Amino acid sequence: MTIKDLDKNGVWRTMVIALLVAMTGLVLLGWQYRQLEEKRLPALEKEIERQSEEIERRAAQNTLERFMSARLNKRQAQAMLYFTENAAEQERLREFALLDDYDSFRILNSEKLSEEEFRFAVEIRTKTAGTLVEIITLMKILDNYYINSIQLAG
Domains of the chain are 3-152 (3.10.450.50)
151, 135 Cβ separation under 8 angstroms: yes
Q: Mean of the per-residue pLDDT values for the chain? A: 89
Confidence check: pLDDT of 35 > 90: no
Identify the weakest region by mean pLDDT among 16-25, 55-64, 138-147.
16-25
Q: Is residue 142 scored above 90 in pLDDT?
A: yes
Of 18 and 150, the structure prediction assigns the larger pLDDT to: 150
Q: How far apart are CA 38 and CA 33, in angstroms?
A: 9
Tell me the mean pLDDT in the region 133-151.
Answer: 96
Burial code (b: 16+ CB inside 10 Å, e: under 16) for 80-103 equals eebbbeebeebbeeeebbbebebe
The Cα-based distances of 17 to 9, 26, 31, 127 in angstroms read: 12, 14, 21, 87
Cβ neighbors of 39 (< 8 A, separation 6 or more) are none
